[in-house]
Amino acid sequence: MIPSAKPPPCNSSQTGCQNPTFVQLAFLVLSLGFISIVHGCIKPCSMAFGADQLVSEHKLEKNERSIQSYFNWYYAFSPLSSVIALTVIVYIQEQFGWKVGFGVPVIIMFLSTAFFLGGSSLYVKMNGDKSLFTGLAQVLVAAIKNRHLSFPSDTSDGLYWHKKESNLGVPSNRQRY
């Protein structure tokens, strides 16, 4: 797509290939960094945002079932859609070339962004309880205050916190390998 973003191809007559320039390496690292940031932001946010759309204050039993169903469908279709998308993109790249193969996801991404922004007035938007940085600061302060604490030598059940009314049990030693 961008010829200057990669070093020239190696010829069989040359003994060595030309190394990438600093700008080409910086472009590669920044591109991979942006991909990881976007991927790390989209996955957890899309799950939580989708679950927020199902919450109703009046029907608590229906909320639990609908949220459970939502997560089941989300986890089922997330890898399936990735496999289908990657298969289709590889097919398009093989049949029509790399430019079309990269252009199709760009067009689909612009369309999905337009649909997302177009429907934003209909979404349920939950307000956060406090600032994200306040919670981060609280964790850092607690970690610094507790850094000198020692752990118990035994693996007692006291290490596992759970409510007394909870249906979840304490981990057992029966299935240890």
Divide the 177 residues of the chain into consecutive groups of 10 and give the mean pLDDT of each group.
Answer: 82 78 93 88 82 74 81 90 91 92 92 92 80 88 90 61 69 65
d(CA 93, CA 40): 26
pLDDT at 141: 96
3-state secondary structure of 153: coil
Q: Which residues have C-beta within 8 Å of that of residue 119, sequence separation ≥ 6?
A: none
Q: Which residues have C-beta within 8 Å of that of residue 62, sequence separation ≥ 6?
A: 56
Place of tokens 């600061």: 137
pLDDT at 31: 92
Q: Which residues have C-beta within 8 Å of that of residue 52, sequence separation ≥ 6?
A: 124, 125, 126
CB-CB contact of 27 with 5 (8 Å) = yes
pLDDT at 22: 94
Amino acid at 38: V
The angle, 0 to 180 degrees and rounded to 10, between the axes of the packed helices 22-52 and 60-96 is 150
